[in-house]
Amino acid sequence: MWPEVHHHHLASEAPERLRPTQMSVGLVEVARKRREWAALGRKQRRETLQQQVFPAVLGPGQRFHIIDHHHLGLALIEEGVGQVWIALQDDLSWLESEVFWRTMEFRAWAHPFDAQGRRRDYSDMPRRLTDLGDDPYRSLAGDVHKAGGYAKSAAPFAEFLWADFLRARVSGRMVRREPRRAVREGVTLAKSTAARYLPGWSGKQP
């Protein structure tokens, strides 16, 4: 669950100005969200934007750093959406950059790991959603969840934990060339006892 916060109000911002708090997304999932958006009528789009809120923290430079919905945010940029609603979780804009990112990670509001699952310096964090790298295993983790491999979890960045689990067990060649087979393999692995430490695991106890 997200930590308890003390500041909470709505603001409007252009999605291309939002700062990410992770280093990668699954572009397959971004493409799926673009298709879902494209299928909506004008009224449905307006209602969706009124209801969809991006939780964010105000950081150095008075910029909003979103702590969820990175895939949707990137999809909306690519679809030309001009404004989205922000729910401010906290104002940490007065902190120096290094302290800001250390605090964000401590609160589970930042995930400084790149598209290969490697830990990176805070200075390497992308400055725009359009700078996010593509992690195919993050896409695979999302597809495995949708296929019933594991349950939805409120734990921050849970899908990245699943991505790293699958990264070590499903070949990149299979992910690229046989995505459906990769999902089937991923579901089997997700149900195994080897995955029982992960959030949302729904296999059988040994």
30-75: pLDDT as tens digits: 999 999 999 999 999 999 999 999 999 999 999 999 999 999 999 9
Size of the chain in residues: 206
Q: Mean pLDDT over all residues of the chain?
A: 94
pLDDT at 8: 60
CATH code of 136-195, in short, is: 1.10.8.10
pLDDT at 5 over 70: no
Helix, strand, coil: what percent of the chain each, to 5?
45, 15, 35
pLDDT at 29 over 90: yes
pLDDT at 1 over 80: no
More confident residue, 119 or 205: 119
Range(s) of the chain covered by CATH 3.90.1530.10: 10-128
pLDDT at 206: 76
Whole-number Cα distances in Å, 197 to 73, 107, 193: 30, 21, 8
Strands lying side by side in the sheet with 63-66: 10-13, 84-91, 53-59, 63-66
Neighbours of 108 (CB within 10 A): 14
Going by pLDDT thresholds of 50, 70 and 90, the confidence category of residue 6 is very low
The CATH fold of domain 10-128: 3.90.1530
Give first-to-last CA distance, the chain, whole Å. Answer: 27
* Residue ranges in the chain assigned as alpha helix (H): 27-38, 42-51, 70-78, 97-106, 136-146, 158-167, 172-177, 179-191
Range(s) of the chain covered by CATH 1.10.8.10: 136-195
